[in-house]
Structures are given as structure tokens and as C-alpha cells.
Amino acid sequence: MKRENIQLSSYDDIFGAPDSEVKESTNGDVVVQIPLGELHAFEGHPFKVKDDEDMEKTVESIQEFGVLQPAIVRPDGDGYEILSGHRRHHACEIAGLETIPCIVRDLDDDAATILMVDSNLQREEILPSERAWAFKMKLDAMKRQAGRPSINSGQLDQNLKGSVSRDLLAEQVGESSKQIQRYIRLTNLKPELLEMVDDKRIAFNPAVELSFLNETQQQDLLDAMDYAQATPSLSQAQRIKKLAQENKITAEGMGIILSEEKKQDLDRVTLKHDTLKKYFPKSYTPKMMEDQIIKLLQQWQKKRDRDMSL
């Protein structure tokens, strides 16, 4: 990917900024202060910007030390589009700053998309929906960069290019090609279902199966889950998918499947921490609680055995 830097001599014309506001980063990129109001989010940006604890820490850091890592932006007709630095931009707004240091790069849409995804995939915690849309956006951009098929090559060549692009993406992000496909499948889910995946109310593997349902079937599933007050296990999702593809499932049928007791529920006893903590000292960890409960059960079993032998 070609990355072009804007030269120092052109900054006065472009930004109206004095030389004191223009700096050079350690890798040679030119850094300039840009007003926050001239920056806007990358179109279709899949990464969420939340006012959470991490954002509070970022704001505190900026207030104390300033913005240590410049944002990366590209010029467009409405000012500048943020490629990397959406969270920093928002933190600067909260901190009351007027400008943010930026590296400006003149990139086409596909190169900008790839840079945006690569920059944000470096974050430690990424939601399944963020990863899914990021993989899709980057893969689509890579396919376009690979070029369209020639007149004589036909669709087979385009499919081959798509496969090569997917393998390259898998290598770059450290995932298998199959797992890339599975993540991208999630982009077929309705937003309500995808949010449940992010919230861990629906596990990843069942979500992939449910992504094969059409929009109407997914709405039926949402209604069924609301009625049954349950979410599908993997085996239930697979059954719903199979029946949906055969057009043999209704919202009522989905509700019946979801109302079945799951095997793990039959095999598992769950004791909530809030229920247990009143019986133990505050210093007890969950593992210490578990060990003590086992000891008490063993003592109870021995007493039962003695009573039965009398």
C-alpha cells in the first residue's frame, strides 16, 4: 500500500497553521494539529467508541500528557476522515481540547479501508461484531485491489482471486481462512442478534449457524427467543438452520425447540455468587468457597452413611 506524506511547504495553504504547529514524528511522518470539528468518522467504521472505563483513562492520560499517538486521517470534501484515532478524537472532545495531532495521508478508498482495519485490530479487546465487519471490509477492499477478471478469464478467476485474498487476510490477522469466513457470516445477522453475540447471550458457534436464516426467519427467531426466554444452543441452532433452509420452521416451531431443556442444564448445578457470599467471609475467593462446600458435602455424606448403618 502506497502511503504519501504531505510536505511541510504545503501545510500553511492547507491548514492555515503556523510552522510551530507542524512537527515530524519519529518515523518521518509529518504531524499537524487539526481542529476537532474538521474531523469525522470513517464511513461504515465498525469499531464502537464507548464512554466506558477505558475512555475515562484515555481522557485522564490526554489531560495529563496530551495525545501521545497522532491520529491518521485523509482529506475529503467535508474536512478529514479519521482512519485511526476515533477513540482519541472522542477523548479530546471530552477533555475540552480544540485540536488533535494528526498524520495526513492521501489514500484511495480501498487503501484507507485497509489502514483503518489494521490500525483498529491492534486493540486488545474487540467485539465479535467489530471483528466480523472489519474482516469483511478489509477482504472486500483486498479483492478490489486484486482487480476484476479479464474478459476471457470469467468468474472462476474472480473466485480464485477472492480465495487468495482471503488466505492472505488470514495470514495477516493470525486466523484460519475458515475462521475468517465464519466471522464474516455474522454480518448476515440482524443487528439485534449480533448485539446478543457481543453481549455473550448467544455463543459464537450457534450464531454462525443462525446467520444462514433469512431476515424473516431471524425475526421469527427473535420472537421465539422472547417467548421462550431462552437462546439456542449449538445443536438447537443447527436444527433451526436445517428446518429453515427446508422452509419447514415457524416462530412457534422455533419456540418449541428453544423450550427444550438443554443437556448442559440437566448436567449442571449453578450456585450464584450473590447467594453464597453471605455464608462466607469477605476474603473468600470462589475457589475457596467451592473447596469448603465440597468438604461440607463430604462430612454430610459420612453422616448419612453412619445413620444408615445404625
In this predicted model, what pLDDT tens digit does every residue of 225-275 receive, in sequence order? Answer: 999 999 999 999 999 999 999 999 999 999 999 998 764 444 455 566 667
Average pLDDT of the residues in 53-60: 94
Quick check: 26 pLDDT over 60? no
Quick check: 99 pLDDT over 60? yes
Quick check: 148 pLDDT over 70? no
**Chain position carrying cell 450457534:** 206
**247: burial class by Cβ within 10 Å (0-12, 13-18, 19+)?**
exposed
The per-residue pLDDT for 164 is 79
With the C-alpha atoms ordered 163, 167, 172, 174, is the resulting torsion angle positive or negative? Answer: positive
Specify whether the CB–CB gap between 162 and 138 falls below 8 A.
no
Quick check: 80 pLDDT over 80? yes
Higher pLDDT, 108 or 157: 108
**273: burial class by Cβ within 10 Å (0-12, 13-18, 19+)?**
exposed
Question: Residue 156: which pLDDT band, with cuts at 50, 70 and 90?
Answer: very low
The per-residue pLDDT for 304 is 78
Distance (Å, whole) CA 241 – CA 266: 24
Question: Residue 286: which pLDDT band, with cuts at 50, 70 and 90?
Answer: confident
Q: How far is CA 76 from CA 8, 13, 35, 83, 157, in A?
A: 19, 16, 15, 12, 34
The per-residue pLDDT for 270 is 59
The per-residue pLDDT for 214 is 97
The per-residue pLDDT for 161 is 58
Distance (Å, whole) CA 30 – CA 171: 31
Q: SS3 for 188?
A: helix
Distance (Å, whole) CA 111 – CA 83: 10
The per-residue pLDDT for 6 is 36
The per-residue pLDDT for 198 is 96
With the C-alpha atoms ordered 138, 36, 3, 124, is the resulting torsion angle positive or negative? Answer: negative
- Pick from 4-13, 187-196, 247-256, 277-286: least confident: 4-13
Question: Residue 14: which pLDDT band, with cuts at 50, 70 and 90?
Answer: very low
Q: SS3 for 51?
A: coil
The per-residue pLDDT for 28 is 61
**Which letter does DSSP use for residue 5 in this model?**
B
The per-residue pLDDT for 18 is 47
Higher pLDDT, 307 or 102: 102
Residues of the chain with pLDDT > 90, as a percent, come to: 59
* Mean of per-residue pLDDT scores for the chain: 84
Question: Residue 162: which pLDDT band, with cuts at 50, 70 and 90?
Answer: low
Residue 66, Ramachandran bin (φ over 0: left; ψ between -120 and 50: alpha; else beta): left
The per-residue pLDDT for 151 is 42
The per-residue pLDDT for 277 is 72
